[in-house]
Structure 1
Amino acid sequence: MAKMLYRLGFWSAKNRIKVIIGSIMVLLISSILAMSMGPKLHEETTIPGLESIETMGQMYQEFPSMIDNGGQIQLVMKATANETLSTETTKQLIITELNELEKDPAVTAVSSPYENQSLNTDGTIGYATISYNTSGADVTEISKGHVLDAAEALREAGLQAELTGSGFVKMEIGGATEGIGVLIALVVLTFAFGSFLTGIIPVLTAVIGLGTGVMLIIMGSNFLDTPSFALSLASMIGLAVGIDYALFIISRYRQQLAQGFERREAIAIANGTAGSAVVFAGITVIIGLAGMTVVDIPFLTAMGLAAALCIFVAVLIAIITVPAVLDMMGGRIKVKQNKRSDRAILHLKKKDRGNRWGRFVTARPWLTVIFGLALLGTLSVPFLHMETGTMDDGLKSTSQTERRAYDLMSEAYGVGYHNPLMILAKTDGSPEAEANLAKTVEKLKTYPNIGTVAPAVTGASGNLSLINVIPATGHADVKTVELVKTIRSHTEEIAQENHVELKVTGSTAINIDISQKLNEALPEFCLIIVGLAFLLLMMVFRSILVPIKAVLGFVLSLGATLGFITYVVQDGHFQKLFGFNGESLVLNFLPIMVVGILFGLAMDYEVFLVSRMREDYKKNGDAKKSVLAGIRHSGGVVTAAGLIMISVFAGFMMTTDPSIKVMSFALLFGVLFDAFIVRLLIVPGVMILLGKAAWYLPKWLDRILPNLDVEGEEVMKIAENRQHNSRNASSDIFPRPVK
């Protein structure tokens, strides 16, 4: 692979104009096709085959009027002090504004609070429902503008008027906030390279790759059910790794220039060495993301494949477009040539001087390892009581109208109003069926954490009835989950006593079931990922202990990440510091997502750091010096790469959507723990303690395993021979004067 990438680097540099124009043309063509097809994204996170989902299908068959065929906006209103919404002047004002909304051609129906019976017990709060002839995602800005105008008119009259509903609230897909993260990344790159011009190259190439990847995902959404948050996730990962991969190649290119290699030769070497590590790192991330398909959950599969596609494009841009851009930049990329005398260099080698961090770690390996293990172990403890679920508008900032609408509804109808349980009751059709159904309703009222239980509504068949249960607690409360479990645990008892079969459904029950399904799939997914990591790293490093150390490091950073998420998001610590607006269950698909993504990113840093150690160890056979060399050559690059990742994820954390915020928060601290504690603290310390044993591999196993040559050993031999021959040729043409 290294030789092929070496030749590819030469070809890209030689054909730089074609490559750069070709990359831009691919972006433009994919953009035109994607925009012409349009995105077909949705916000559903369902799992086919769940009993609660099948029950909902039966419910819709019996009660077809409950099917929501179009988007809706709820205009939630609260009367002024000492008045109600039924006061004559207030009622007339509300009806006038609602009549204006009916003039919108996209509106199919407007239901006032006086018609839909949404007024609360004291008549101070209620809502109007505006229904549209399109899905919620397709309600136009013009239609939303009419409702905003109506709300503003009511506010001017002294009422509180807020908006929510599928036609108004949509998940954010990127925005201006991510640009802040990119700017911070640019500052890091400028500092790392000592040049703004050099620093901007990774950002520009990453943007080309991200743009192409996003356009391909939009096109793919027309053929594969794709949740909207998959695009946000793919954007986060694609942008971060795109910058990092370019950084790795450019850093190696500058090192080769500093060693005196000709520019195109340096480009080719960088592509053959760092480029090999980029390809391998990209493959590991793709495996981690594509591995989500083994869970057999459609929305996770779409999410993983979308992000994997962005990674694939980022790798292609790094090994094809970046070499072309480097050649285009020519002498504008400056490096400091090493002008120290041979005697000084020899002196430094004898002293075995590395950077300060390298000397600190190698001098105190036990201290660094124990400190790192203790820190990550402590951070992992909250993971033991992690509870997963979904997020809603109640976790948004109070500066947003949908959050204020959520709070008004909670005030009017209780916090459980937002997460009702729909219970489908099947009777046996006997003369006592109605009485048995009534007994069942009364039985439900006795369970703990019940808010209200509405009277049963019987469907057209006469055998199926619907019971609406409002919990006393919100969706983010574990007691709500316990209520669902309680009802289900008593279904057999009720069937025997009252001859009524109960099945719990509704969005709350479905989300609880999805969370349980995801939690059950997590251990299997982790085993698959850990097994793949061990095999891949064993092939790369030709060692048994190094892959074991890498896998254990990944497990440590994973535990610390999930533990810290639980500590902040679920337990409620430091929420203001990180911009969260309330305690919540951990997002149900977050643990699997973090495993898949963090696995790939952890292997990125492991490969770039340890492969340089192995490269040096094969030259001198000194384990300690190889660790120093790895930190000296790759430690700074890994540090910059980690900071870039953190910067990009921090930009996405500034979003107002709680799901995007918690995903970026998890990835930010996952990278922080893995790059700076595991890879730059624990890994060097363990490598020192292992010594030469770290590189042991049985000879029989060495013969079986394929040699991936990620370090580009063969490439360096070719390049050094070329450089040597070039110097000899120069000496023949311009012989040195005889002293």
Structure 2
Amino acid sequence: MTPTEQDGRQEAGPGLGNELSGPRPGPGLLFRMGHGCARRPWRVIAVWLLVLLAAVGADRAWGGTYKDDFALPGTAAQTGADLLDAHGGPAARGVPAQIVLSTARDGADGQNAQDGLGAHREAIDAARANLATLPEVVSVADPSATSGTMARDGRTGYFTVRFESNPARFEKSYVGLVDEAVAPLRADGIEVEYGGPLGQLARSGGADRASEAIGVATAVLVLLIGFGSVAAAAFPLISAVIGLLAGLAALGLVAAQVSLAAVSPTLAVMMGLGVGLDYSLFLVTRHRRLLRDGADPAGAAGRAVATSGRAVLVAAVTVTVALAGLFASGIGFIGLLGVAAATTVLTGALAALTLTPALLGLAGRRIDRFRVRRPVDEPDGHADMWHRWAAAVGRRPWTALVASVLLLGLLAVPTASMHLGHVDAGAAPAGSTERRAYDLVSDGFGPGANGPLTVVATLDRDGTTAQERTEIAQDLQRVLARTPGVASATLPAPTADGALLVSTVVPAGAPQDRATGDLVHRLADRTLPDTLGPYGATGYLTGLVAAQQAFRDVLADRLPLVVGLVVTVAFLLLLTVFRSPLVALKAGLLNLVSIGASFGVVVAVFQWGWGGSLLGVDEPVPVESYVPMMMFAIVFGLSMDYEVFLLSRIREYWLAGHGDRESVAAGLASTARVITCAALIMTSVFLAFLLAEDPVVKMLALGLGVSVVLDATVVRLLLVPATMHLMGRANWWIPGWLDRLLPRLDPEGAERADPELPRRATEVAEA
């Protein structure tokens, strides 16, 4: 043993010795907090209910709405959009959405289908006038007034409706107003479907609510099986739900000040419910063990918060730090998604550390009332299956290590072919108005019409003659039309003030196709500069597809920076907590391996299409550009939950004076059941969101669910103990100078360690 290790054990030794035979040291802050909450449960519960009511009331009164803001200042796509806003007038201002009309499919019959839309001029004019009067509408262009919005056969066309703000965030009742406005069309036998953000608004949203209900119901079932009693199972659920509701209300107030993405509430629910249940579960498990060892309820609650509660605190901070690392992307949209997730993580941790001990104190020794099976807590005795598992891993660490690495490596193989992009409406649920609109446009105009590109060319109004402007426009159209991957390009038209030339380019492929992304780069990097440069003009490629491509490029460039920052900060935090460079480094590397495996599953299912139809995604789609970065931050943070909890127990046994082999086996046996139960709960919460209508939510749900399963089984139950067995005493080695430099943190309260540790460690070692 190194001098540093001896010093560390000597520091921890008096605390452990006092617990076992001498006077007990003064209670720490977390112990006093947990003990106080347990002694005054009604006061704590009342405070939480008052805070919740106040937060919900404030959210109802002053809370904001959620909307996607993909603005990327400094990019060509954003510059082009800003120029159109400044010079294009109402026809270019606002958020566009399509209302697609057709007489070519269901809804049109007989003579109507043969006549095409031209035979319905009166109904089209009436609908246009009605739409123009709706709130938030800036302009309406009907198929006959706008070039390129009427199919060649005349049977499919679309209104381009521009709104002051994103209609996807309007109240659902707005769809009813649009239905009334287009009623003359439907009455005249025309099929009408809503595309773009208006189609997103028309989604039912019921699947998301069903996902939340299924997640909660599954969590209840796992808690009942894991704890064996209704009362014990109810406490984590009550704590998690109250913490989640408070976090969502706080998030609504944040949304009033900044632009939070539309997926923010869903992400917040997934994270808040999952970690809230896990954190409370850790505390309840330790509390029940202490009760069984003879502690009084208030004292047991205080010691649970002083031990497992410290691990919860470190885990919550680690998750928050990982999510805060998303701001390193330089994109506010991504960073604020991290804020949304971190908000409910922090409120969930706060509820676990205060509300859970209050509920435990209220229950007293009646925590096992209304039993559904024999109550269980931390394992006790070498006959337990987890003790036998820990002993087996210790006997064959190389086998466990090699098998785990091979499995994770095999799952990670598809990651090498990951294609980032944007999932378009072609992946929307079959039968939805958004999907029908997409299909109608694809059939009538080609798939590229669902994601047209806009070319904006700047001109010198004082120095450019009308003849030169015409020459530039004709030359630009000719070059654009001949560019590989372009289906059509309109003749560039000047804006009202003559400052810009504007052309619409329709790609040959769908918006999410890899070829469309290549076309965006080809036009922006070569075609526009080469064509406009000789005229002294500058071209910008803008529009939704161009903005999404710029977004993807920025994310791809910044992903290594985010990964490096999050891993470094997590390494430093674990190094400070556990005072072991090798343990901290191993944790970071193993987390990266498990994240790579979960990425591989996402690529195989969504991009390769392996089983995607079972999840409601009928065709292969690219991986949404921001999903890998979000998954990395969330998964890295969540995996630290289990890492901190497991390593804390191992270190606790080691500080009690036991050898490396005995400490690893005893720590694994003590935490395996609760980690497995917690992982089942979090996985059920995540996978329940596979029922959501949004393919991106499905993508996140699958990736996060798979990552939790792999992390709690392959990594935590095999890789971590195997590597720690192989490293032996090196696990807790630290240079003396580094030990003196680092501040001292104790996540598990080793100074108040469990007095049963020596006996349990010996039993596991003997197994």
**Same fold, TM exceeding 0.5?**
yes
Matched, 1:481 2:511: no
3-state secondary structure, aligned to 2:284: helix
Residues 388, 587 of structure 1: 8 Å contact kept: yes
SS at 1:467's partner residue? strand
Contact 1:416 1:473 in 2 (8 A): yes
Structure 1 residue 577: deviation in Å? 2.8
2:477 aligns with 441
2:589 alignment counterpart: 552
1:595 aligns with 2:632: yes
Q: Are the equivalent residues in 2 in contact too, given 1:60–1:66 (CA < 8 A)?
A: no
For residues 40 and 529 of structure 1, do their structure 2 counterparts lie closer, same or farther at Cα, with a shift above 3 Å needed?
A: same
- 1:240 Cα deviation from its structure 2 partner: 0.6
Which of the residues 574, 596, 601 maps onto 1:537? 574
Instruction: Tell me which of 33, 42, 46 is aligned to 1:21.
Output: 46
Alignment equivalent of 1:54, drawn from 46, 64, 79: 79
Greater CA drift, 166-175 or 226-235: 166-175
Distance 1:619 1:395, change over 3 A: same
Give the match for residue 436 of structure 2: 404
Superposed, 1:308-327 pairs within 5 Å as 308-327=342-361
User: AA paired with 2:508?
Assistant: A
Indicate the SS of the match to 2:364.
Answer: helix
Worse-matched range after superposition: 178-187 or 168-177 = 168-177
Alignment of 1:281-680 (within 5 A): 281-334=315-368, 355-427=387-459, 429=464, 431-490=467-526, 491-497=528-534, 500-680=537-717
- Could you tell me how far apart the structure 2 residues matched to 1:123 and 1:192 are? 64
User: Mean Cα displacement is larger for which, 635-644 or 46-55?
Assistant: 46-55
User: For the structure 1 residues 140 and 4, does the alpha-carbon distance in structure 2 shift closer, same or farther, using more than 3 Å as the test?
Assistant: closer
Deviation sequence 1:203-242 (CA, Å, 0-9, x none): 1111111111111111111112222222221221111100
Q: What is residue 64 of structure 2 aligned with on the other side?
A: 39
Over 3 Å counting, the alpha-carbon distance change for 1:322 and 1:573 in structure 2 is same
In the alignment, structure 1 residue 241 sits paired with structure 2 residue 275: yes
Unaligned runs of 5+ in 2: 1-25, 758-767
CA change 1:566–1:137 in 2 (3 A) is closer
CA deviation map 1:428-447 (0-9, x unaligned): 62554422431222122222
Amino acid at match of 1:364: R
State the distance in 2 between where 1:458 and 1:387 align: 37
**TM-score normalised per structure 1:** 0.89
CA distance in 1, matches of 2:83, 2:386: 69
Closer/same/farther in 2, CA of residues 105 and 493 from structure 1, 3 Å limit:
closer
Following TM superposition, by how much is the alpha carbon of 1:13 offset from its aligned partner in structure 2, in angstroms? Answer: 0.7
Pick closer, same or farther for the CA change 1:463–1:160 going to 2, 3 Å.
closer
Aligned 8 A contact 1:209 1:314 in 2: yes
| Corresponding residue to 2:217 among 175, 178, 183 | 183
SS of match in other structure, 2:257: coil
Which deviations, in whole Å up to 9, do the C-alpha atoms of 1:72-101 show, x marking residues without a partner? 562533333662453787556666666777
Look up the equivalent residue of 1:415 and give its one-letter code. Answer: P
Residue 119 of structure 1 is matched in structure 2 by 150
Equivalent residue letter for 1:585: P
CA contact (8 A) 1:2 1:712 kept: no
**CA shift in 2, pair 1:71/1:26, >3 Å:** farther
Q: 1:166-245 counterparts in 2 under 5 A?
A: 166-170=197-201, 174-245=208-279
Whether the 8 Å contact between 1:138 and 1:167 is mirrored in structure 2 is no
For 1:295 and 1:37, how far apart are their aligned partners in 2?
Answer: 30
Aligned partner letter, 1:660: V
The 5 A counterparts of 1:91-106 are: none
3-state SS of 2:150 partner: coil
- Kindly report the root-mean-square deviation, in angstroms, between the aligned alpha carbons of the 2 structures: 2.9
Q: Would you say 1:145 and 2:176 are equivalent positions? A: yes
Is the contact made by 2:563 and 2:632 (CA closer than 8 Å) also made in structure 1? yes
In the aligned structure 2, how far is the partner of 1:232 from the partner of 1:611? 32
Deviation readout 1:573-611 (Å, 9 max, x if unpaired): 221233323222211111221121111111111011121
**70 and 505 in structure 1: CA distance in 2 versus 1, 3 angstrom threshold:** closer
The question of whether the paired residues in 2 share the 8 Å contact of 1:31 and 1:212 is answered with yes
- Provide the residue aligned with 2:734 in structure 1: 697
Give 1:724's aligned residue: none
Please tell me the residue identity of whatever aligns with 1:190.
Answer: L
The percentage of counterpart residues that share the same residue type is 32
SS in 1 for 2:501: strand
Structure 1, 133-142 or 505-514: larger mean CA deviation:
133-142
Alpha-carbon distance in 2 for matches of 1:166, 1:133? 13
Residues 304-332 of structure 1 show CA distances to partners (whole Å, capped at 9, x for unaligned) of 12221211111111111100011112232
Are 1:554 and 1:599, in contact at CA under 8 Å, matched by a contact in 2? yes
Q: Distance in 2 between matches of 1:75 and 1:456?
A: 25
Match for residue 279 of structure 1 among 290, 305, 313: 313
CA contact (8 A) 1:107 1:132 kept: yes
Q: Which amino acid aligns with 2:511?
A: H
Mean CA deviation greater in 359-368 or 94-103: 94-103
Stretch of structure 1 that moved more, 427-436 or 288-297: 427-436
Equivalent residue of 2:502, what SS?
strand
Q: Is the 8 A contact 1:380 1:559 kept in 2?
A: yes
Structure-2 change in CA distance of 1:104 and 1:526 (3 Å): closer
Distance 1:676 1:352, change over 3 A: closer
Worse-superposed segment, 635-644 or 219-228: 219-228
Q: Quote the residue 1:726 is aligned against.
A: none
Deviation of the 1:103 alpha carbon: 7.9
Within 5 A, what are the aligned runs for 1:253-268? Answer: 253-268=287-302
- Select between 436-445 and 147-156 the one with higher mean Cα deviation: 147-156
Q: Distance in 1 between matches of 2:652 and 2:733?
A: 15
Q: TM-score, structure 2 length as denominator? A: 0.86
- Which residue identity is paired with 2:227? F
Q: Which amino acid aligns with 1:523?
A: P
For 1:377 and 1:178, the matched residues in 2 are separated by 32
Q: Is the 8 A contact 1:439 1:498 kept in 2?
A: no
3-state SS of 1:42 partner? coil
| Structure 1 unaligned residues grouped into runs of 5+ | 339-344, 721-739
- Correspondence for 2:34: 9
Inter-partner Cα distance in structure 1 for 2:593 and 2:79? 39
Secondary structure of 2:753's partner? Answer: helix
Match of 2:116 in 1: 86
2:524 alignment partner AA? R
CA distance in 2, matches of 1:464, 1:133: 22
Give, in whole Å, the separation in 2 of the partners of 1:252 and 1:391: 44
Cα 1:85–1:255 shift into 2, 3 Å: farther
For 1:538, the aligned partner's letter is L
Q: Provide the rounded CA distance (Å) in 2 between the counterparts of 1:337 and 1:421.
A: 63
Whole-angstrom CA distance in 2 between matches of 1:670 and 1:176? 23
C-alpha contact 1:84 1:123 (8 A) present in aligned 2: no
Q: Shift in Å at residue 699 of structure 1?
A: 3.0
CA distance in 2, matches of 1:337, 1:235: 29
SS at match of 2:504: strand
Which is further off, 215-224 or 361-370? 361-370
